């Protein structure tokens, strides 16, 4: 890490932040690849030489991703707090980058909603073309005992909506420079995120169908499972902000690290509302498909 702000070749300071060469983008790509390979080996129950990978590859990949996240975040926080190289112009670039990242995440979930609605509205086509299961022209297929929307999923919805309120509370506390309220709001938000994940694990354990039992089960677990993963990432994001708030890193004039976490968390909230309405409520009623 350089001790002083960077300069151009003319020796004059400039308003832009030129990022130094970093190993973390490449390390992040390898960690994500390790996680993806581990997940594929686990889902296909691959054995090599009698050795079953199981969840070992997934856990190793997840630990690698979390390690890269920690070290990369540490460097970015050092740039922002110690070196103070995130100028106003650099902050504009950071905001655009976060907005584009969330836009890419929106399209990621569009794919899962597309798969769900395609299978539900054209159930017979799924049966004939993909040969996954017999739906009898109904959705969900009659052999499935679905999860009631206004049971545990509704409680999970209330938890996420409440967490969105506490994140907004913390944001206003930063703007008004109320340090105690910042810490309290972020702490409650993290606890609510953990509670949501706990209820989702409970829901999965007690579900009456498994991931490989057909197109309904696959689309359900892919959409809600990836949302749960995003809740995990968002909770970690907010936890980092919580510890940063305790160190006094956020001030009314400069707190983009928190803003990025808040944007991401509100995105997670909105996606869950669509999941609740489309998959839990509409998708569990049972109706004649097209």
Per-residue pLDDT of the chain (290 residues; tens, 9 = 90+): 444 455 555 556 667 777 788 899 999 999 999 999 998 888 888 877 777 777 888 899 989 998 998 999 899 888 888 888 787 888 888 899 999 999 999 999 999 999 888 877 775 555 554 444 445 556 777 777 788 888 899 999 999 999 999 999 999 999 998 999 999 999 999 999 999 999 999 999 988 887 777 778 888 899 999 999 999 999 999 999 999 999 988 888 888 889 999 999 999 999 999 999 998 988 876 544 44
Report H helices in the chain: 24-43, 56-78, 88-121, 123-130, 152-175, 179-205, 215-246, 256-275, 283-285
> Contact at 8 Å (CB) between 146 and 283?
yes
Identify the CA nearest to 225 among candidates 204, 246, 199: 204
The pLDDT of residue 1 is 44
> Contact at 8 Å (CB) between 61 and 36?
yes
The whole-model pTM stands at: 0.81
Beta bridge pairs of residue 251? 254
- Whole-angstrom CA distances from 192 to 18, 157, 224, 239 are 37, 11, 17, 11
d(CA 208, CA 145): 6
Domains (ranges, CATH) in the chain?
1-86 (1.10.287.70), 94-288 (1.20.120.80)
Contacts of 63 (CB under 8 A, 6+ apart): none
The pLDDT of residue 228 is 94
d(CA 271, CA 106): 8
């Amino acid at each position: 890490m350089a001790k002083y702000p960077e300069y151009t070749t003319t020796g004059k300071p400039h308003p832009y932040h030129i990022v130094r060469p970093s190993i973390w983008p490449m390390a992040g790509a390898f960690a994500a690849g390790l996680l993806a390979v581990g997940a594929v080996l686990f889902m296909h129950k691959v054995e090599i030489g009698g050795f079953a990978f199981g969840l070992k590859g997934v856990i190793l990949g997840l630990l690698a991703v979390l390690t890269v996240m920690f070290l990369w975040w540490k460097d970015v926080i050092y740039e922002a707090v110690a070196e103070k190289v995130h100028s106003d112009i650099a902050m504009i670039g950071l905001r655009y980058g976060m907005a584009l990242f969330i836009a890419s995440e929106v399209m990621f979930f569009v794919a899962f909603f597309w798969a769900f609605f395609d299978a539900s509205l054209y159930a017979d086509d799924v049966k004939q073309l993909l040969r996954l299961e017999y739906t009898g022209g109904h959705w969900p297929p009659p052999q499935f005992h679905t999860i009631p929307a206004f049971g545990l999923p509704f409680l999970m919805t209330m938890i996420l909506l409440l967490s969105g309120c506490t994140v907004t509370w913390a944001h206003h506390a930063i703007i008004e420079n109320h340090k105690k309220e910042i810490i309290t709001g972020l702490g409650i938000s993290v606890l609510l995120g953990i509670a949501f994940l706990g209820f989702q694990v409970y829901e999965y354990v007690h579900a009456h169908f498994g991931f490989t039992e057909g197109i309904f089960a696959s689309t359900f677990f892919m959409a809600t499972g990836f949302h749960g993963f995003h809740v995990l990432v968002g909770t970690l994001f907010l936890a980092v902000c919580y510890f940063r708030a305790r160190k006094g890193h956020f001030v009314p004039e400069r707190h983009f690290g928190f803003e990025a976490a808040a944007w991401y968390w509100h995105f997670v909230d909105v996606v869950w509302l669509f999941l609740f309405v489309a998959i839990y409520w509409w998708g569990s009623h049972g109706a004649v498909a097209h």
